[in-house]
Amino acid sequence: MTSERKTTVAADGAAAGNPGPGGWAWYVNETIWGSGGSVGTTNNRMELTAVIEALGRLEGPLHIICDSRYVVDSATKWRHGWKRRGWRKPDGAEIANKDLIIALDAALTGREVSFEWVRGHDGHPLNEEADVRARAAAEAVRDGRNVRTGA
């Protein structure tokens, strides 16, 4: 284990309709954050994308705060079994969001990353900032405007 301090980053996703136009965001502080969006997506896909994008942009050890149990459990519990079974559930069915789960697995490989679930819309400062940016991205995609992509 490294003695380097972990950077705390919040990741969140939003969809204006589910499926519908969506947005994702990760947030460290006012000068370090990113966001983006997609047409015809789901909240879960945007939540996963936010984490994958943060992992791709931020170096060193990370502590990821997320209000999606699906994402936290996918990253910390389920992906290892899914991978052993060829990205399938125990019943043999293909997992949802397979492309993003595989990308998440690759992004986590060799990284020091911890995850923390937080209740959404409950006043956690970093989660609230990520949420604002993810919703703004989803609304921009819905309205045909450019998404503000980050600082």
Q: Specify whether 17 is catalytic.
A: no
Active-site residue (options: 13, 22, 23, 36): 13
Q: Specify whether 121 is catalytic.
A: yes
Residue 54 CA: distances (Å) to CA of 38, 81, 95: 17, 24, 23
Active-site residue (options: 53, 67, 128, 129): 67
Length reported for the chain: 151
Instruction: Look up tokens 């459990």; give the residue.
Output: 73
Of 43, 36, 35, 34, the closest CA to residue 14 belongs to 43
CA distance 104 to 18: 21
Q: Specify whether 12 is catalytic.
A: yes
Q: Specify whether 73 is catalytic.
A: no
Q: Specify whether 80 is catalytic.
A: no
Active-site residue (options: 47, 53, 128, 129): 47
- How many Å is the Cα radius of gyration of the chain? 15
Q: Specify whether 47 is catalytic.
A: yes
Active-site residue (options: 91, 92, 110, 121): 121
Catalytic (active-site) positions: 12-13, 47, 67, 121, 131
